[in-house]
Amino acid sequence: MQFSVGVEYSLHCLLYLVDVNERSVGIKDLAAYQGVSESYLSKFFAKLKKNGIVESVPGAKGGYRLARAPETITFWDVVEAVEGSEPFFKCTEIRQNEIILDRSNLPASHTKSPCLIHKVMDEAEAQMKHFLQSKTLKWLYDEVQNKVPSVHIQATKEWFERNL
């Protein structure tokens, strides 16, 4: 039960895209700046694009930029884009296998009402989802703006703009 590194990569990258408004940043730069694999990172951006979080600018001097305002991009959006939207807990309806049951004539208690364990696990995921939906990219950006020395933020900005 672990999130893939794509979640970490994506969130860090998106943070750099906030400052880039109508322009765009290439995978090459994003990968180089953070010292991660370029080709692997591009796979996650394909997912972010498919989920409407970023949009791409094809061709030379192309790259990616946010597809919508950072206020509307939540941590959950990113998790869902990268990890897919399968629920954390997949219930195999093990209860319908109980040896004392007639498989061709299951009681309503085993088919109509939901599996309680399944329900609890889905609710647990919903708790996490709710929390992550409350944290936006804009919020993260503002927090970082406050916590990281402005000289470093400025240097980062200049690095990404160095060859535009």
Contacts with its own copies, residue ranges (CB under 8 A): 1-5, 7-9, 11-12, 32-36, 75, 79, 83, 86, 88-92, 94-95, 97-100, 107, 109, 113, 116-117, 120-121, 123-125, 127-128, 130-132, 135, 140, 143-144, 147-149, 152, 155-156, 159
Between CA 72 and CA 81 the distance in angstroms is 14
Q: Which amino acid is at 88?
A: F
Q: Among candidates 75, 34, 40, 69, which has minimal Cα distance to 54?
A: 69
Identify the DSSP state of 55.
E
- When the beta carbons of 42 and 133 are compared against DNA, the nearer one is 42
- Is residue 6 at the binding interface for DNA, with CB under 7 A as the rule? yes
Contact between 24 and 63 (Cβ < 8 Å): yes
- From DNA, its own copies, none, which one binds at residue 69 (CB under 5 to 8 Å depending on kind)? none
Contact between 95 and 110 (Cβ < 8 Å): yes
Minimum distance of its own copies from residue 58's CB (angstroms): 25
